[in-house]
């Protein structure tokens, strides 16, 4: 798919969990200058699909998630979540890099707190929170406070909290960015396992090419200043991806090489990047001459 073009799925009338058409958004700073965060963004998240926004810092990924969540409105363009204007609520689950747990509540109480907007009795709320803490492997830490948990554990609580409402859409903004590399890989598998149970639509944000490929059905590459869709690629790797060594699959290797080169080019071409116009030092990640073998579009 080229920037600005309608995604293929729209034509095929696949149910869209999220649809953005021609979305632009600018911010005005206190000094009166204007930052164009997003320009003419068109993309969709089909029901049950895992779509990742991949792009360098400042390309508008968080802004885009906040527009889908209904927290901010675009200047122009159409935004629909399951066919309606977006609005925050239990249909949309949010997971952020910074966890955002309530420090004076236990893990169990944090998850229960998220369930308060659902019409559940107190015992049902307790049972559901307990179930989801179990799914992320934290039954033994239900009564611990956030300060008593490691970074990985806190992110598990945040994941349980988002999933416990059984949202139709999960929005995740670099949820594993502040977790060490080993825990991060384990959390990716955990997320895939949890997602495979219900397959809600997911819009996931990351800077990491590897994370994007491992998790996604589709990767939307965003370029910075202004934030725009550069390219969209299908990830044609078998699932479940925890059942084999995905990273050694030839399609993975090719897609990784292609996306790494594209990401690097976007950063080198960005005048506000500290790497602007620097010469690449490695030929290993040089842009391939041909399109990737994974079904790019």
What is each CA distance from 153 to 205, 266, 288, in whole angstroms?
20, 34, 40
Question: Contact between 97 and Mg ion (CB under 5 A)?
Answer: no
Smallest separation (angstroms) from Mg ion to the CB of 12: 31
User: Segment near Mg ion (CB under 5 A), from 56-64, 110-118, 178-186, 194-202?
Assistant: 56-64
Nearer to ligand ATP, 112 or 174 (CB): 174
Residue whose tokens read 């139709």: 168
User: Segment near Mg ion (CB under 5 A), from 54-62, 153-161, 221-229, 281-289?
Assistant: 54-62
27 binds, among ligand ATP, Mg ion, none (CB under 5 to 8 A by kind): ligand ATP
Smallest separation (angstroms) from ligand ATP to the CB of 97: 8
Residue closest to 93 by CA, chosen among 169, 206, 154, 158: 169
257, 282 in Cβ contact below 8 A?
no
63 binds, among ligand ATP, Mg ion, none (CB under 5 to 8 A by kind): ligand ATP
Smallest separation (angstroms) from ligand ATP to the CB of 38: 8
274, 57 in Cβ contact below 8 A?
no
For ligand ATP, the binding residues (CB under 6 A) are: 27, 29, 35, 37, 57-63
Question: Contact between 62 and Mg ion (CB under 5 A)?
Answer: yes
Residue 296 DSSP class: B
| Distance (Å, whole) CA 238 – CA 89 | 33
Report how many helices (DSSP H) and strands (DSSP E) the chain contains, helices first: 8, 9
Contacting positions for Mg ion (CB under 5 A)? 62
């Amino acid at each position: 798919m080229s920037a600005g073009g309608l995604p293929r799925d729209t034509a095929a009338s696949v149910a869209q969990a999220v649809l953005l058409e021609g979305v632009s958004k600018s911010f005005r700073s206190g000094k009166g200058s204007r930052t164009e965060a997003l320009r003419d963004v068109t993309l969709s998240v089909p029901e049950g699909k895992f779509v990742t926004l991949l792009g360098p810092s400042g390309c508008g990924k968080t802004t885009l998630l906040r527009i889908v969540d209904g927290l901010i409105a675009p200047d122009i363009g159409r935004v629909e979540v399951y066919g309606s204007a977006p609005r925050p609520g239990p249909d949309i689950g949010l997971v952020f890099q910074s966890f955002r747990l309530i420090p004076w509540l236990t893990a169990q109480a944090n998850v229960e707190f998220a369930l308060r907007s659902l019409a559940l009795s107190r015992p049902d709320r307790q049972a559901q929170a307990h179930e989801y803490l179990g799914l992320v492997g934290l039954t033994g830490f239900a009564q611990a406070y956030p300060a008593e948990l490691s970074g990985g554990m806190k992110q598990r609580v945040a994941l349980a909290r988002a999933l416990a409402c059984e949202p139709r859409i999960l929005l995740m903004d670099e949820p594993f960015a502040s977790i060490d590399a080993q825990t991060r890989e384990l959390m990716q598998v955990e997320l895939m396992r949890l997602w495979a149970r219900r397959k809600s639509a997911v819009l996931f944000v990351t800077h990491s090419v590897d994370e994007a490929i491992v998790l996604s059905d589709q990767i939307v590459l965003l370029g910075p200043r202004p934030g725009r869709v550069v390219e969209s690629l299908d990830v044609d790797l078998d699932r479940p991806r925890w059942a084999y060594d995905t990273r050694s699959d030839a399609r993975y290797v090719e897609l990784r090489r292609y996306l790494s080169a594209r990401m690097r080019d976007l950063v080198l071409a960005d005048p506000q990047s500290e790497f602007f116009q620097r010469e690449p030092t490695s030929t290993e990640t040089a842009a391939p001459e041909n399109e990737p073998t994974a079904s790019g579009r």
